[in-house]
Structure 1
């Protein structure tokens, strides 16, 4: 059996983390210290007392906490000690934390970047020290690193828009209506790509009126903006949130305005959202949300750690081309060669009644296998 086949058959990490454990994880991640007990004497392909390190961008969203948890679990599953930092969305702090982590001579370093274009010096340093270096979620766009795994944000926006159009047509018999897009902070490459794709798809239909307003990615701001929009547009047909955290603000505003009706009820406003958190799946089950789009942080962390330890740590090139892994609902992806190193892009998909209970949904993994409640 070759190495890729072995990776493709790995299952999710076992174990449970209750509310107390989750709070502990978040507290640990918020520390800026990078000291590592049992630090490795260098990079290697197995645990053996070595340390796997993660320079996190922040722990301010459930999605990021679960991404960190996936890296932690896979790291410890492979026999490494785990050490992480929390940059609190500060790019300078994250860069300095990564440098401090490298002083500990870790077995590998993973980052989720605040500033994608600030990592060339770290890429050079890791190559010189032979420390496998990977990125998850937000890609490194300067310098060449060993492996990156991210998400097709444009396709996610397109899928959400297509579902919105489909539901508008089912309602009216034609593609028309009023659609509110409460987009996230455009400083985020992910949110920017989702906005562009969502609105480009809607622009194909001249009878759809787009109401596009910023939320800055804040749940509080999202609630305020949605409240004003609901007041202004009494016949609003659809709402789109580019992340579940933003959609949470929209749903609160709809409740406050007595405009939150379930699918099939008179006055129901179509709602689409991106991420697929446990709460989003519950919204779908309850009929509050019509279509969540999944983004899989569990796969991000597990696959990145697997690739760095299975290939890079052993001096082997990461295989390019098709990647198949039935442990994840999406099952298939591709690893491409880029100027910044090998990149896997995980495909988005719509969560629907046929797949919402699939145990491979990342939200079901963290709640049912890991015992974490949102």
Structure 2
């Protein structure tokens, strides 16, 4: 899930960064444990927001994995604000954090903050997104181009390689929005040239997505597929299809096939109920686990190289000095079938985090 970034003035960001730079002199190399935390290494985690199912799940998993890994935890919430994220970095350093995990939603604006944290010798792990520039110890995410490809292959198979679909894009200033859009479009062009794609930028805003979908359905009433790049637009999409008389079962000729993205519990329920058809499950539980795993590794002085991991993922070098652990993100459907060569899990599969959130 990637919400629309809210940017404060350049002066606000600069002020926060100046304060952060002053902290580098006092952070030093004073060891990897916090004396107030029973000798456990102290790490900080900044949550990007707390008003979505996806990020609320991340907030639930983070303290659980911190306990499992023997870490002491401090958390902040930047609320999609890059200046607040910089200020939160200051807070976490003052609290004694020896490493920080964050999910910067404004991936183009994070480089100055990363540079200041690097100067303070604070390792950083980003999850879900990666910075457009700048260095971090590790990026923990899944291959977002594959998200788009899997949605493409499901819709391409269901539509028999012809027809019209609308893609409710995220924000193309975000690496996730760009990757999903490029993956979907490239797959459609190569594998299903008979399908016409209408891309609608939504800035990760549910209300904008609903309005764009309504406009697309009005202009092209024969649209038979929708790809939602995140569950942020799920409610609005279902409301709009219901309003147009198109929220009908998959055997009804009026049915519009819907593929979402995240794997939150309500998506899995909607798939089982027949309201939507598929989703790509982002491994939010593993985001929490491996964000903390890599922070602990950084504190312990460990290094990593590209290649397969011991947890069914692949570390790739995105650019010189930047590694990304690409976790698995399965396609989920009601029947667990294979679509365009892509196997899927059933929506009731107990291995899915969305079925185990409690």
TM-score normalised according to structure 1 size: 0.77
Q: Is the 8 A contact 1:143 1:340 kept in 2?
A: no
Alpha-carbon displacement from aligned partner over 1:283-332 (angstroms, at most 9, x marks no partner): 111112222111111101101212221x222222236421133xxxxxx1
Counterpart of 2:315 in structure 1 is 335
SS in 1 for 2:266: helix
* 1:86 alignment partner, one of 69, 77, 87: 77
Mapping of residues 50-199 of structure 1, within 5 Å: 50-119=41-110, 122-123=113-114, 126=117, 130-169=121-160, 175-199=161-185
Query: Structure 1 pair 234/114, CA: closer, same or farther in 2 (3 Å)?
Result: closer
How many residues were matched structurally?
318
Alpha-carbon separation, structure 2, partners of 1:43 and 1:161: 46
Q: Is the 8 A contact 2:125 2:138 kept in 1?
A: yes
Counterpart of 1:202 in structure 2 is 188
Matched, 1:260 2:247: yes
Alpha-carbon separation, structure 2, partners of 1:275 and 1:314: 32
Point out 4+ residue stretches in structure 1 off by more than 6 angstroms. none
Alpha-carbon displacement from aligned partner over 1:138-192 (angstroms, at most 9, x marks no partner): 11343332222112111110110111111111xxxxx211111121222222112
Alpha-carbon distance, 1:206 to partner: 3.8
Matched, 1:43 2:24: no
Q: Which deviates more, 287-296 or 209-218?
A: 209-218
SS in 1 for 2:351: coil
Q: Is the 8 A contact 2:132 2:175 kept in 1?
A: no
Matched, 1:226 2:207: no
Alpha-carbon separation, structure 2, partners of 1:159 and 1:301: 24
Counterpart of 2:258 in structure 1 is 271
Query: Structure 1 pair 244/114, CA: closer, same or farther in 2 (3 Å)?
Result: closer
For structure 1, which runs of at least 5 residues remain unmatched after alignment?
1-40, 170-174, 326-331
Let me know the Cα RMSD of the aligned residues.
Answer: 2.7
SS in 1 for 2:66: helix
SS in 1 for 2:64: helix
SS in 2 for 1:190: helix
Query: Structure 1 pair 118/262, CA: closer, same or farther in 2 (3 Å)?
Result: same
Query: Structure 1 pair 132/47, CA: closer, same or farther in 2 (3 Å)?
Result: farther
Q: Is the 8 A contact 1:270 1:290 kept in 2?
A: yes
Counterpart of 1:27 in structure 2 is none
Query: Structure 1 pair 77/324, CA: closer, same or farther in 2 (3 Å)?
Result: closer
Counterpart of 1:323 in structure 2 is 309
Counterpart of 1:349 in structure 2 is 330
Query: Structure 1 pair 361/132, CA: closer, same or farther in 2 (3 Å)?
Result: same
Alpha-carbon distance, 1:47 to partner: 6.4
TM-score normalised according to structure 2 size: 0.80
Alpha-carbon distance, 1:74 to partner: 1.1
For structure 2, which runs of at least 5 residues remain unmatched after alignment?
1-29, 337-344
Query: Structure 1 pair 105/120, CA: closer, same or farther in 2 (3 Å)?
Result: farther
Query: Structure 1 pair 320/188, CA: closer, same or farther in 2 (3 Å)?
Result: closer
- Structure scoring higher RCO (CA < 8 A, sep ≥ 6) equals 1
Alpha-carbon distance, 1:84 to partner: 1.5
Alpha-carbon separation, structure 2, partners of 1:215 and 1:116: 17
